[in-house]
Amino acid sequence: MKRYSVFAVAREGLRYHTGWERAWRSPTPKKKYDAIIVGAGGHGLATAYYLGKNHGITNVAIIEKGWLGGGNTGRNTTIIRSNYLQDPSAAIYDKALKLYENLSQDLNYNVMFSPRGLIMLAQTHHEVRGYQRTVMANQLQGVATEWVTPQQLKEIVPILNIDGPRYPVLGGLYQKRGGTARHDAVAWGYARACSAMGMDVIQQCEVTGVRRDGNKVIGVSTTKGDIDCDKLGMVVAGHTSVLAEMAGFRLPIESVALQALVSEPIKPCMDVVVMANTVHGYMSQSDKGEMVIGGGTDSFNNYTQRGSFHHIEETVRALVETFPIISRLKMLRQWGGIVDMTGDRSPIISKTPVDGIFVNCGWGTGGFKAIPGSGWAMAELMAKGHSPLAEEFHMYRFREGKFIDESVAAGVAH
Amino acid sequence: MLTLHCPYCGIQADETELAAGGEAHLKRYGPGSSDDEFETYLFMRENKKGVHLERWRHAYGCGKWFLAARDTATLEVYGTYAAQTSEPPVEVKAAIRAKHPGWTWKEQA
């Protein structure tokens, strides 16, 4: 693999860009791999990457039903933060944030990480108390966040209407290290790095069955034939229940649609990410100038990657009050993804009842920010059988009542 | 927008006047049950890609709970029925089998 650099750009510029090689190979599947990862989204590719980089396991295939990064990796609002209340969450999300900070250098691929800062608005007294508690928890966890007053917020985000009347801004939880990254680039960068290590990224190859010998996984059946493996990682977000059923076990998750939308591009007006959890909307401005807006999930089980129009209407209507300048904006595009929700709104990174099968799912509405940390933990779990970062995210915590309850801590948007 | 026929007040209700209540026909477990049974009842869900039997409440209408058979892969509705049943009525099963010939009700499987 040729490295990307300013010299490469100059060299190719002088020869009409004829020398660029493909970023990753499109191989046909081998008969057998040491490990197969199902799902070539951010989490799956990151898992494969850290399997190779940290644990020296490079005989790996990443199998993808659709196209690379075409699921939730390419459908989210690219927000990155680690200001979680619970210790296990803060640990894994902050690991992810730290890895994001150097990811472009690590992968030799510009993921456009932009630590522009992130604010969660407190618009009720309940939220004020909740976020002040989170600030203190974050200090104990070593995650730098601070509480900011409405006047400070007005200086940081001039387009904010802090007066209400319905939803006055009473303060905010500010994480300066938070921000955004380019979602596609994260998937592409990991895929390129995996391919360079000799791993096979196999797209348009749907898993149709999981083959077992007794209680041990021996491989998968796919639309491109049977492939054998010693270890199998399921990293397929919204379709995890479908895959788990093929393997013969159940998971405590439900799949629902989550939508996002972007406006027409406008001049730079907001250089932080703002989340308003009371009204359930969050917004940032992309490098192209579009206002990127996300809202809440639909309430019913859904696998169609499209959601209900009234949810978009609710999200935008609520945000208009806090951001009056968006009232005349035209919305350009809207899309949906299928998110896998757990009971406590925390992910599952776990061994399963089947030997050799590992599952990484349940990231719900907030998986993008966790990609590097999630891959790091999942790779460690698959390689060594245990991972300190993943320890409390096992799938049996529901039976034991050991929730990592971010559904209460984070309110809703997540 | 999803619309469901409310079997009690008889109108076609829009999604905005309904509240989703999750998977239907769960078997409830009380005191004395095993950890396995409690976990299954409280957290484990079918989460089917395909036929899904689920609870809805006509929240901004008659306020009553009813059940619906819906396809989570196509959003097609196969029928709605009263909540006071332990399995889908014959006509709903027939509507499901017209599209999914091999489909069986879980209690029969």
User: What are the tens digits of pLDDT across the range A91-110?
Assistant: 999 999 999 999 999 999 99
By the 10 Å C-beta count (0-12 exposed, 13-18 middle, 19+ buried), A262 is classed as buried
d(C-alpha A261, C-alpha A60), whole Å: 35
pLDDT at B109: 42
Looking at the fold, whether A300 and A392 belong to one and the same domain comes out as: no
Query: Percent of chain A at pLDDT above 90?
Result: 89
Mean pLDDT computed over A236-254: 95
Q: Are residues A382 and A298 part of one domain? A: no
Q: What pLDDT is attached to residue B107?
A: 60
CA–CA separation, B87 and A409 (whole Å): 37
Is residue A84 over pLDDT 50?
Answer: yes
Whether A318 maps to a domain, the answer reads: yes
Q: What is the pLDDT of residues B43-84, one digit of tens each?
A: 999 999 999 999 999 999 999 999 999 999 999 999 999 999
Residues A152 and A283 in one domain: yes
Contacts of B47 in chain A (CB under 8 A): 241, 251, 253-255, 301
Per-residue pLDDT at A164: 79
Model pLDDT, residue A308: 87
Structure tokens that stand for A201 in this block? 């990224």
Task: Give residue-wise pLDDT tens across range A30-46.
Answer: 999 999 999 999 999 99
Residue A2, domain member (yes or no): no
Statement to judge: residues A187 and A105 lie in one domain: yes
Question: For residues A143 and A305, is the Cβ–Cβ distance under 8 A?
Answer: no
A112/A98 Cα distance (integer angstroms): 14
Which residues face A74 on adjacent strands? none
- The DSSP secondary-structure symbol of A368 reads G
Whether residue A11 is contained in a domain is answered as no
Kindly list the residues from chain A whose CB atom is less than 8 angstroms away from the CB atom of residue B36. 399
Shortest distance between the Cα of B20 and any Cα of chain A, in A, equals 6
Confidence of residue B17 (pLDDT cuts 50, 70, 90): very high
pLDDT tens column, A269-301: 999 999 998 888 899 999 999 999 998 888 899
Q: How many residues does chain B have?
A: 109
Alpha-carbon distance of A287 to A112, in angstroms, equals 10
pLDDT of residue A406: 82
Each residue of A142-160: pLDDT tens digit?
999 999 999 999 999 999 9
Touching B: A residues 375-404, CB under 8 Å:
398-399
Considering the domain architecture, whether residues A153 and A261 belong to the same structural domain is answered as yes
Interface test with B, best of A300, A309, A317, A402 (most B CBs within 10 A): A300
Answer whether B22 sits within 8 Å of A254, measured CB to CB.
yes
Type of residue numbered A250:
R
Q: Name which residue leads in pLDDT, B71 or B108.
A: B71
Domain annotation covers residue A9: no
Stretch A345-351: mean pLDDT, rounded? 95
- Domain boundary among the residues A310, A342, A374 is at A342
Domain of residue A312, residue span: 118-177+255-342
> Inter-chain contact A253–B47, Cβ cutoff 8 Å?
yes
Query: Domain map of chain B by residue range?
Result: 3-99
pLDDT tens digits, A184-204: 999 999 999 999 999 999 999
Indicate if the pLDDT at residue A166 is higher than 90: no
φ and ψ at residue A93, rounded to 5 degrees: -70, -35
Task: List strand residue ranges (DSSP E) for B6-108, in order.
Answer: 12-14, 19-23, 51-57, 65-71, 77-82
User: In chain B, whose CA is at the least distance from the CA of A396?
Assistant: B39
Are both A186 and A105 inside the same structural domain?
yes
Contact between A343 and B54 using a beta-carbon 8 Å cutoff:
no
Residues facing residue A61 across a β-bridge:
A36, A200
Element (H, E) at A299: strand A291-301
Q: Does residue A18 belong to any structural domain of this protein?
A: no
Quote the percentage of chain A above a pLDDT of 70: 98
Same domain? For A334 and A194 the reply is no
Q: What is the CATH number of the domain that holds A164?
A: 3.30.9.10
**Domain stop point among A294, A310, A342:** A342
Q: How confident is the model at residue B6 (pLDDT cuts 50, 70, 90)?
A: very high
Q: Are residues A192 and A90 in the same domain?
A: yes
The pLDDT of residue A408: 55
Q: What is the CATH number of the domain that holds A239?
A: 3.50.50.60
- Cβ atoms within 10 Å of B90's Cβ, excluding its own: 8
Residue where the block lists tokens 């802090």: A162
In a domain, A6, yes or no: no
Q: Would residue A198 count as lying in a domain?
A: yes
Residue bearing tokens 């400070």: A152
pLDDT of residue A263: 96
For A300-334, b/e burial (b = at least 16 CB within 10 A) is bbbbebebbeebbebbbebbbbbbeebeebeeeee
A89 shares its domain with A194:
yes
Among the listed residues A183, A234, A190, A254, the one whose alpha carbon sits nearest the alpha carbon of residue A349: A234
pLDDT in tens, A110-153: 999 999 999 999 999 999 999 999 999 999 999 999 999 999 99
Q: Which of A311, A342, A373 is the last residue of a domain?
A: A342
Indicate the pLDDT class of residue A165, thresholds 50, 70 and 90: confident
Q: Is A127 helix (H, G, I), strand (E, B) or coil?
A: helix
Pick from A219, A186, A23, A10: nearest CA to A112:
A186
Query: Residues 291..330 of A with a Cβ closer than 8 Å to B: which?
Result: 299-304, 308-310
Alpha helical stretches, state H, A56-160: 87-101, 103-107, 125-141, 150-156
In-domain check, residue A335? yes
ipTM computed for the complex: 0.92
Domain count, chain A: 2
Residue B89 preceded by cis peptide, ω within 30 = no
Per the prediction, chain B carries an average pLDDT of: 93
As assigned by CATH, the class of the B3-99 domain is alpha beta
Q: Give the mutation candidate from B1, B44, B45, B47 for the A interface (greatest A CB count, under 10 A).
A: B47
Considering the domain architecture, whether residues A277 and A331 belong to the same structural domain is answered as: yes
Q: What percent of chain B has pLDDT over 90?
A: 87
- N- to C-terminal Cα separation, chain A: 37
**Amino acid A160: pLDDT:** 95
Instruction: Please tell me the distance from the alpha carbon of residue A40 to that of residue A26, in angstroms, as a whole number.
Output: 13
